[in-house]
Amino acid sequence: MQLAFVCLDPTPGAASEPRRAVFSTAAALAAEHDVTVFVSAAGEPPRTAAGDDAPPFRTVVVDEPQETGGGFSFPAHQRSSVALDALRDVYGDAGPDLVEFIDRGGEGAVTVQARITRDPFLAGTRVVIRACGSDEMLRTLDGWLPDDAHANLLHELERTSLRHADLLLVPSRHVETTYRRFYGDRDALAPVRTVRPGFRPPAAADAPGPPTAQGPSTPPDDRPLRLLVPGPLDPRRGAAVLVEALLGLDPQIPWQLTLCGPDREVGGLRTSMRAQLELTVAGDPRIAFAEDDSSLDALIAEHDVVALPARWDCWPDAALRALHAGRPLLSTPVGGLRELTVAGRSGWLAAGTSPAAIAATVASQLANEEELAALLAGDGPRAVAAEVTDESCLRAAYASLLGTVLAARPSAPRQRTRPPLVSVVIPCFGLARWVEAAVASAFAQTHPAIEVIVVNDGSAEPEDVRLQELAARLPLTLLTQENQGVGAARNLGIAQAAGRYVLPLDADNVLDARFVARAVEVLEREPQLAYVTSWTTFVDEAGRPLVGDSPGYHPSGGRGPEFERRNITGDAAALIRRRVFELGFGYRTDLVSLEDWQLWRELRDAGHHGIVMPTRLLDYRVRADSKLRTMGLPNVERLAGELLAHQRERGVRWA
C-alpha cells in the first residue's frame, strides 16, 4: 500500500524530534509498503542505523512558503495548503492509502478539511494525525501562550486537525488522557488509537562514543552519581525543577548534573533560561552545561542516569535513546514517561513533578544501593526499549489501522428516495447585468435537485427588466420587495424556500458546478455540521481570474478566538441546513455589510459549527463598485466594531 508521512517542521536538522520519529516509522514500514516522506527544506535526509547513504523510502522536499500570499492570511495555513498540493503533485488523481501528519503546527488541517468535505483526491485515503505535543500545549507548558492573530489561528488549525481527522494516533493511553484534559469535551478529538511511533538508534557517525555493552558499575564511594538532563533548556522540560531538587538534598549525597541542549529565551519576560539557571546554581561545580546536543548519545554513555523531570512530555526521543544505551531514567509521572519508566526495570518514577517529589526519589534511589547497582549493570533499560520499539508490533498496528480507519466515519450518506432539494437564494439590487451568470451557475450544478429564488430588493433600474425575462424562460421564482438591504432580501427568499438545504448566492458571483453536490454530501454524512463554505477565486468584471498576490480568499475555518476578529469562515455562499433558519437564525437587517459574518458568529455562539471545503468552488466578482473595494476592506475595523457592539447589546438586558 502507499503510505505518506508529512512533517514540515522547520526546525533544522536532527534537532527536530518529530521528524526523527517520522523517519524511523517510515523506515520500519518501508519493507512492506510504498512509503514517501514529505519534509521541509530544513529536514535533512535521514541516515539509518546501518549508516546507509539513502533511506529505505522516498523523500520529497516541500519548499517553505517565503511569505504569506495567495489568499492566505497567515503562514501556517499556507504551509498546510502546500502540504496538500505536494501530495497531489506526487500521487496525481488518487491519494495514498494513508497519510499521516504530526499535530504540531496544524500541517494537516487543510488535508483533513479536504477529506471530510469529500475531495475526490482523498476518497480512498485515511488521514491520521500523530500526537507529538501541539504548539498550543507546549507553549502553555513553557509559560507563554500568545494571544495574537497568528498564534490563535495556528492553534485553531491544530484543533481542526485533532477534531476532524479519521484517527488520532497516541503513543500511550496516558498521552490520550492529557489530550482529553487539555482539549476538553469528547467531541474535541477524533477517534483515538494507541500506536507507538517508530524508533531507530542513530547512525554510528551521528553517535560518537557509543555506549559500552553494559552499563557502568555502581558508582564507587569516591565518585558521585552522574545525571544528564537532555535539552533544550525550556520550562516544560523541568531542568530548573531538578536543579532545585538536587540543591535541596543532604550535602552528604554525592551527585553531578549535566544540562544538555541549546538555550531558549522562554523564561519570564523572554529571558534566557540558561542565565536563570546560572544565577540559581551560583557557580556550583557539580553542575555543568553542554549547549551542543549533537553529541547527546556520547553524553548518555558518559552518565549513569538520564533525568527527564518534565512538566509533561509525549514520547521523548531522548528517553528511548537512553534506554537503548542501557541507561535508566529518572522521570516525572507524565505522558509517555509513565510507560517508558518501569520501576525496577528501566528507572525511577517520581511521585509528582515538584522539586520535593523529585528530591525524594533521588534520595531514595541512592539509598537503595542494590537496586541502583542492578539497574546500572543489568539489561532492564534495553529490554524495555526493545519492547516499546518492536517494529513487528509497529507493522501490525499499521496493518490494522489500514484495514479499519475508513469505518470510523459513515461509509455512505443517508439513503433517500430522491436527492434533497437545495434552494439557491439570489438577492439582487442593481446587479441585473450579472445575475444571469449567477442563475446559470445554480442551474448548472451537478446536484440534480435545485430550486432557484431571485429576490429583487427594490431595484428599479432599466436593466432590471432582465429579471422578468429570466423568470419567463427559466424555472425560477422571482420575488420583489421594497429596498431593505441584502439581509432582508436573503431572509425573504429563505422564508419562501422549499429545500432541505439553502444556499445564499450574491447576484454577481458564480458557483462552480461541483459546489452543491460536494456540500450536500458533507452535510448528509456529517450531521454535526450546520453549514459548508468553500475557498473562492477573485475574478474581474469579465469573469477572468485576477492576478497578483491575492488571487482568492482562503478562509481557514475553525471556532477559536479569531472568529471574533475576522471572518475565518467564508463567503455568504454556503450550503446551510434549513433547520438553522427554522431555529430562528437569520441575516441581520440593521447592518450595512458583513451580515454573513454576523450569522456565522451567532451560530458559533449557539454551538452550531461549519467547515470549509479547501477548494476554490466560488468565483467572487471584484467590481469597481463592489463592497470588497468600496466598503469591506477600507472599513473592516469599523465594521467589525459594529458587529461586536450589536452582539454585546443583544446580550444585555437594558430595561
| 90 vs 444: CA distance, rounded Å | 32
Looking at residue 654, its pLDDT comes to 77
Higher pLDDT, 239 or 41: 239
Looking at residue 592, its pLDDT comes to 76
Looking at residue 216, its pLDDT comes to 52
57-73: average pLDDT? 81
Looking at residue 210, its pLDDT comes to 39
Asked whether the predicted pLDDT for residue 552 surpasses 80, the reply is yes
Looking at residue 407, its pLDDT comes to 47
H helix runs in 405-555, sequence order: 432-443, 465-473, 486-496, 515-525
Confidence band for 50, pLDDT divided at 50, 70 and 90: very low
| 300 vs 319: CA distance, rounded Å | 10
Number of Cβ within a 10 Å radius of residue 641: 11
Confidence band for 648, pLDDT divided at 50, 70 and 90: low
What does the pLDDT look like over 194-215, one tens digit per residue? 999 999 987 644 443 334 444 4
Looking at residue 634, its pLDDT comes to 55
| Helix, strand or coil, per DSSP, at residue 344 | coil
B/e letters for 512-525, b = 16+ CB within 10 Å, e = fewer, are bebbbbbbbbbbbb
Mean pLDDT of the chain: 88
In the chain the domains, ranked by start, together with CATH numbers, are 2-194 (3.40.50.2000), 204-388 (3.40.50.2000), 422-647 (3.90.550.10)
Confidence band for 338, pLDDT divided at 50, 70 and 90: very high
Return the percentage of the chain with pLDDT > 90, whole number.
64
User: For residues 485, 490, 491 and 495, what is the CA-based torsion angle, rounded to 10 degrees?
Assistant: 140
Looking at residue 213, its pLDDT comes to 42
Higher pLDDT, 93 or 217: 93
B/e letters for 318-352, b = 16+ CB within 10 Å, e = fewer, are bbbbbbbbbbbbbbbebbbbbbbbbeebbbbbbee
Q: Output the nine-digit C-alpha cell for 293.
A: 546536543
What does the pLDDT look like over 356-403, one tens digit per residue? 999 999 988 766 778 888 888 889 999 999 999 999 999 999 999 998
| 263 vs 260: CA distance, rounded Å | 9
421-444: average pLDDT? 96
